[in-house]
Amino acid sequence: MALKFEGFKYLPKAAVFDLDYTLWPLYVDCLSGPPFRLKNHIVTDRSGSRITFYKDVPLILHSLKDHGIKIGIASRTGAISWAEKIVQLIPLPQIQEDKSSNSVTYSKTLKNVVDAIEIYPTSKVRHIKQIAKKFDINLNEILFFDDENRNIHDIRGIGVTSILVNNGMTVKVLHEGLKKFNNNMKDIYS
């Protein structure tokens, strides 16, 4: 079941996420490398290390899409092809409407639900500006999540609501972001 965003007057037009330690609990460039394989809905690297989302990430991504919010990825990893391959492979479980069912279905990957991907080593400012351009939106219409303070500081500096993610994306962190986004929008429109 998708999250309800009731009580929020303003919703962002886009939510942009870092990858490492934001959507998943690892640094892509610290993996053993390719080949990356998908077997039984699990992505592994050459050594068999599993690459999985933080628990709340599928619900968050599906809920954003259900509310018409575009999703972007902004990663500064130097392991560009590795990150791109994982984004292409990593399955996104469907959200179960029927809680009595124990079966999990997968019909999409992260790449299927993301609307813009910027993966290359540079300032996150460049990533965010490129995503805003692709979406044809203003920077202040974006909600950004990242695990590094320097990125949060840089992106706030260009007028984007930015949220520090300390222990992976959670529903609580998303709601904190939506609340801060609403406060920022009230300041603009009041």
**Residue positions annotated with a catalytic role:** 18, 20
Q: Long-range CB contacts (< 8 A, 24+ apart) of 31-38?
A: 31/79, 31/82, 33/79, 33/82, 34/81, 34/82, 34/85, 36/82, 36/85, 36/86, 36/89, 37/89, 38/89, 38/90, 38/91
CA torsion sign, 10 to 118 to 167 to 44?
A: positive
CA torsion sign, 139 to 90 to 121 to 20?
A: positive
Angstrom CA distances, 92 to 14, 16, 95, 105, stand at 19, 17, 9, 9
**Beta-ladder partners of 167:** none
CA torsion sign, 128 to 168 to 57 to 46?
A: positive
Q: Are 160 and 142 in contact (CB under 8 A)?
A: yes
